[in-house]
Amino acid sequence: MVRSSSRRRAARAVTGGALTLAAALALAPAASAAPAVPEPVASGSTASARWTVTPAGAGSWDVDLTLPDGVPVRAAQPQLVLDGLVLGTAREEADRRTLTVQTSDPRAAHARSVQLAWNGVVVGQESRVLRHAAGPAAAPAPDPGSRTLAEDPGAKGKYAVARADYDLGDTAVRLPGLDGQAVEERAAVYLPRGASGPRPVVVFLHGRHQACYGGDEEQFDEGWPCSGGAKPVPSHLGYGQAAEALASQGYAVVSISADGINALDWQAEDGGAQARGELVLAHLDLLRAWNAGRGGVAGARFVGHLDLSDVGLMGHSRGGEGVVRAALLNAERPDPYGIRAVMPLAPVDFARQTLPGAAMAVVLPYCDGDVSDQQGQHFYDDTRYAARDDVLRTSLLVMGANHNFFNSEWTPGTSKAPSNDDWGLDDDPVCGSAAPQRLTAAEQRAVGTAYVAGFFRLNLGGEEQFRPLFDGTGGRAASAGRAVVHTEAQQPSSARTDLATFEGPTSSVRLASKSAFCVGAGEPVPGQAARCTSQDPNSGSLPHWTPAAFAPTVPATPLLHARWTVGRHQPVTVRLAPGAAAGVHQALTFRAAPARTLSTDLQVTLTDAAGRTASVPVSRFSTALTALPVLADPWSDDGQGAAKTWLRTVRIPLDAFPGVDLGTLATVSFTPLKATANVYLSDLALDTPAAGEGAVTTLPAVSIGDVQAVEADGTQRIRMPLTLSHRSTVPVTVDVDTAGAAFDGRIPATSTRVTIPAGTLTGSVVVPLTGDDVAEEPQARFTVVLATPREAVVGDGFGQLTVFDDDAGSGLQG
């Protein structure tokens, strides 16, 4: 696994340590010779890269890949692939050309090839990976009953739009994780001219893209600020269409620049999420001062015009994870801003953090060529049951959309700096530029504008007419044109009765003989439920089960894998508790998807206490069990693969079940309508569409402390402290991932679920550390990561275990 960088957070105490730093340093001699640099045990080169494998200690190896043209700037994390095996996320070195993974896999010592990959796809093999199984793909179809809304959220409103851009320079603010370097505080601001009173505020944050352009193009690693005649890429200007639409309806829109972070985040242990979140809050701090009249001439335009108790955030790409982090950081402040709605657009999710409390809509482009595994789906999946909140939560799959074209400054023909279509294969029948269902850049921006505007007008402005775009009832925006947008939706807790989450066995769920609860993908893991599929989770086709870059061993999206073979079909049956409140709800809902690319259909049957039944087919109401376009599997021998597996919400009106007493429902059952069926099921509920109301979460933040230890013979149990920001009235759970600490074999790559009892502030996780008698680096830093908390959110989620080597020649023997 990858060995992480050593970024430290400001003013952070080392707690719970196994020894003090002074005691560790006291073990060191006055001087020691630098260890000899080992010779590579394997190496090679191609026209585009050279690689080496070098011993790094007892049973571990440094795998290095050097790219003469530098590491491409992308949202996704780079990976190294050794002889077809994905080793893990690679660390970018200071030369900006070399990628490193330290691994304990013994195959490294006999490597024949090392290649660069993104989301499991090796660079240069995209044409094979993206080849479809057969012929042209059928055009995607919306769900039966979908309808165009009477009012278009993308339409211009009654206000003219005034610009109020500001620029405090390229080195205006210092943020964590950027090695002390300062970055810009610059924004494009769109205000409704003539609007009275304070206006709701929406902040846009772009993602990771080239920071500078022009000038000396060979100086790709110039850092920040831009030098050699280069200029900052105006990525923050690329959302003007959505900003104008919102501002014309009375919203103040602030689109902020993050070029400095893009130039410097290669050295951040969290990929820059903390820095991006802090940048959003720095802009809100500035705007609050100006709004209160503390900005002199520069801030005069803002005085009294901003309602910072009614704030929404949209983040694109790495900006998506950045705005989630901003909302979490904001909640820890004594006087937080009213961040009530967050939209991660084509986001990364490197650490599996949750965001309860705020309304959320995750937007996933099906033809994303950068974040091609749609890993941002985890924001929705992981937050569903993180706490009982009262907001509408949505995930949207936009067919025919790529990663870049939501931003006009990342789009050829409209951008000032060089740009490209991130879906690189023009002849691809589903996502190529000439494919019939591929959206043009203009169409894609129109879709983005409609959904961005509609989301914030619903959740900040209370404009209920736009709720059907997000609640799973099939609303469509006229300006989105021919785009097909599939939906997952979880209604607010006050409008929903959960019948079965399908996350694991319960006494109320009776399974068909071939069915099983499952979690994740790939090889089975001892002590965990069965895998939902044997497909490689790095294949890019499994958004629900894509391993997170910094928390890859944390179990992902448990659900029910229902299977029926030829013969008598026993149903999957859920017994309802008496008084399940069907009479006060409008629909039966659940998420579903076909497994292994096989479209199918199910019959859903309701039975009441008197034994009366009514049944309907899923296909009458939803296309959820129709497979998405089939993509090849990059690791299969024959190049044939599977569709992307993405659960869609099935919504069946209760009045579709005539003759059943909804007040005394007894069971819900599922049976196949074909000879065989293979499907995934999740989130069975009764609900009524509602928007709820987003709010800043009041849940405690759970953090992990840093620890220092001296290596010893045998296995030590190193205890790392966990703390809550305040006590919880219910138990808090959090997953602790040690994969980032497993690079040299002394710590296993695993996840541990820790419970902090109600009413207490502290807990701990035990990390096993196995010593050896081989001299290694005098000290090694191991990163341990918190993920997927329940009844809490993540505060400081990256802990450092620093281990001082005690073996001869390490520098700690005297």
Q: Which pLDDT band holds residue 130 (cuts at 50, 70, 90)?
A: very low
| pTM strictly above 0.85 | yes
pLDDT, average across residues 295-320: 96
Phi, psi of 365 (to 5 degrees): -80, 130
Reading the block at residue 750, the tokens are: 């695993």
How far apart CA 426 and CA 444 sit, in angstroms, is 17
Q: Which are the contacts of 18, defined by CB distance < 8 A and separation ≥ 6?
A: 707, 708, 709, 710, 716, 718
pLDDT at 631: 56
CB 238 within 8 A of CB 206: yes
The C-alpha R_g of the chain, in whole angstroms, comes to 26
pLDDT of 246 > 90? The answer is yes
How far apart CA 289 and CA 294 sit, in angstroms, is 5
770: nearest Cα among 729, 812, 805, 794: 805
Q: Which are the contacts of 31, defined by CB distance < 8 A and separation ≥ 6?
A: none
For β-strands 587-594 and 677-687, DSSP reports them as antiparallel
Q: Which residue has the higher pLDDT, 123 or 570?
A: 570
- CA angle 450/452/455 to nearest 5° reads 100
pLDDT digits (tens, 9 = 90+) for 252-287: 999 999 999 999 999 999 999 999 999 999 999 999
% of the chain beyond a pLDDT of 90: 75
Secondary structure E strands in 323-471:
339-345, 359-365, 393-398
| 701-704, strands of its sheet edge to edge | 762-770, 715-724, 701-704, 793-794
pLDDT, average across residues 700-721: 95
In three state form, how does the secondary structure of 483-500 look? Answer: CCEEEEEECCHHHEEEEE
CB 752 within 8 A of CB 719: no
pLDDT of 641 > 50? The answer is no
For β-strands 475-476 and 147-148, DSSP reports them as parallel
What is residue 683's DSSP assignment?
A: E
Q: Which pLDDT band holds residue 36 (cuts at 50, 70, 90)?
A: low
| Amino acid identity for residue 49 in this structure | A
pLDDT at 639: 45
For β-strands 91-92 and 496-500, DSSP reports them as unpaired
Number of continuous H segments (helices) and E segments (strands) in the chain: 8, 45
How far apart CA 78 and CA 119 sit, in angstroms, is 8
pLDDT at 12: 28
270: nearest Cα among 794, 746, 803, 724: 794
Q: Which pLDDT band holds residue 588 (cuts at 50, 70, 90)?
A: very high
pLDDT digits (tens, 9 = 90+) for 377-397: 999 999 999 999 999 999 999
pLDDT of 142 > 90? The answer is no
2: nearest Cα among 86, 114, 96: 86
| 602-608, strands of its sheet edge to edge | 509-510, 572-575, 665-672, 602-608, 613-617
Angle between helices 240-247 and 441-459 (to 10 degrees): 40
How far apart CA 478 and CA 481 sit, in angstroms, is 6
pLDDT, average across residues 757-784: 90
pLDDT digits (tens, 9 = 90+) for 453-492: 999 999 999 999 999 999 999 999 999 999 999 999 999 9
Reading the block at residue 460, the tokens are: 């900040």
- CA angle 296/298/303 to nearest 5° reads 70
- Residue 733: Cβ within 10 Å count: 17
Q: Which pLDDT band holds residue 132 (cuts at 50, 70, 90)?
A: very low
How far apart CA 366 and CA 423 sit, in angstroms, is 10
pLDDT at 603: 98
pLDDT at 393: 98
pLDDT at 137: 52
Q: What is the mean pLDDT of the chain?
A: 90
Q: Which pLDDT band holds residue 47 (cuts at 50, 70, 90)?
A: confident
pLDDT at 58: 66
CB 112 within 8 A of CB 119: no
Q: Which helix (H) or strand (E) holds 527?
A: none
pLDDT of 184 > 50? The answer is yes
pLDDT at 655: 95
pLDDT, average across residues 775-783: 83
Cis check: omega of the bond before 347, within 30 degrees of 0:
no
pLDDT digits (tens, 9 = 90+) for 85-118: 888 899 999 899 999 998 988 999 999 999 999 9
pLDDT at 25: 42
How far apart CA 365 and CA 243 sit, in angstroms, is 20
Q: Which are the contacts of 779, defined by CB distance < 8 A and separation ≥ 6?
A: 24, 802, 803, 804, 805
pLDDT digits (tens, 9 = 90+) for 787-799: 999 999 999 999 9
CB 114 within 8 A of CB 51: yes
Burial class (CB in 10 A: 0-12, 13-18, 19+), 600: buried
For β-strands 121-122 and 85-89, DSSP reports them as unpaired
pLDDT at 301: 94
How far apart CA 691 and CA 702 sit, in angstroms, is 28
Q: Which pLDDT band holds residue 16 (cuts at 50, 70, 90)?
A: very low
pLDDT of 129 > 60? The answer is no
Tokens 């049956």 sit on residue: 573
pLDDT digits (tens, 9 = 90+) for 512-566: 888 999 999 998 888 888 999 998 898 889 999 999 999 999 999 999 999 998 8
Question: Considering only 51-60, 334-343, 745-754, 797-806, which range has the smallest mean pLDDT?
Answer: 51-60
% of the chain beyond a pLDDT of 70: 90
pLDDT digits (tens, 9 = 90+) for 597-618: 689 999 999 999 999 999 999 9
pLDDT at 221: 57
CB 790 within 8 A of CB 700: no
Phi, psi of 607 (to 5 degrees): -130, 135
Q: Is the dihedral of CA 466, 470, 475, 476 positive or negative?
A: positive
Cis check: omega of the bond before 225, within 30 degrees of 0:
yes
pLDDT at 26: 45
How far apart CA 168 and CA 279 sit, in angstroms, is 13
| Amino acid identity for residue 552 in this structure | P
